[in-house]
Copies of this chain bind each other. A is one copy, B any other.
Amino acid sequence: MKPSTWKYILGEAGRGIKKNTLMSVAAVTTVTLSLLTLALVLLLVFNFNHLAGTLESQMQVVAYLDDNLPAPRVAELDAQIKAIEGVSEVAYVTKAEALERLKAEFGVDSDILAAVEDMNPLRDSFEIAAADPEQISAIAGQVAELAGVAEVNYGQEILELLLSLTSVIRYGGAALLVAFILATVMIIANAIRMTVVARRREVAIMKLVGATDALIRWPFLLEGVLLGLAGAVVTAALVWAGYSWVVGAMQRSLPFVPIVAEWQPILLVLALLIVGGVVIGAVGSTISIRRFLRV
């Protein structure tokens, strides 16, 4: 098509939006609301995942050693543990260090600790982190076999709880996300379809005057894209402002709750929103217009 035709098509798209103000506002509002919902769910899932990851990364295997193990054996053990598949970090903690930590931790019950200060009933230990929390129990099993290891603990119950909780959040979140994306696409496609239905008489007339499908489709397509884009930009602005505020507020009042505060994932969400808005607008109007071109 000629440049002048493209110019005309662009003008038509703009005209369509202006003429059907009511429909256009309705469509943009619908896109915005749907995308906002989507963004919210996306950010919630992100944060839950982040939280789950943070918790998981704190899980570890503690191997208590036999009393008075000679230093060379400790070094050997260190090497053996590091060799186990899936082990990412190994730290040696003497029983003196362990007692110090315990004191720091139990503010309330520190009386007991003071009482046992001199005799320190604790044991030396290795603290072993796993690359993947799923492997923790396997690693614990292998470590327990090693000579010199008296007892292995890896918070079985808590680990299992956490693993199932995070998998619930991950899969549930993903399912939720897919459901919301589908819902958003459907709502927006509906909105655009309605604007097209409202103009089917017009389309029929155009066809009778000799317009090709392309000439009819393009303005609608662009109109859909522009409406989708408008909705997405409004949403992106709202999400940016809203999330910044939430991050600020959380970091001020609940600093210990791990919230995703780096810009990278948030920018990703915003970019997704805008691409999503455009694609949805384009696809929505293409699908909607198709059935009216058979005139």
Q: Which residues of A contact B (CB under 8 A)?
A: 22-23, 26-27, 29-30, 33-34, 36-37, 40, 102, 108-109, 111-116, 119, 121-123, 153, 161, 164-165, 168, 176, 180, 183, 186-187, 190-191, 193-195, 197-198, 250, 253-254, 256-257
Contacts and interface: CB of A to CB of B under 8 A. Distances in A.
B121 A111 contact: yes
A121 to B, nearest CB: 5
Contact of A26 (B37, B176, B183, B194): B194
A253 B191 contact: no
Contacts of A108: 153
13 contacts: A23-B197, A27-B190, A30-B186, A33-B183, A33-B187, A34-B187, A36-B183, A111-B123, A112-B113, A116-B116, A161-B256, A168-B250, A191-B194
Contacts of A34: 187
Contacts of A29: 186-187, 190
Contacts of A111: 121-123
Contact of A33 (B102, B165, B186, B197): B186
Contact of A254 (B36, B119, B161, B256): B161
B26 A164 contact: no
Given A30-B30, A115-B116, 14 more contacts: A26-B193, A29-B186, A30-B187, A33-B187, A102-B109, A102-B112, A111-B121, A115-B119, A161-B256, A165-B257, A168-B250, A168-B253, A187-B187, A194-B198
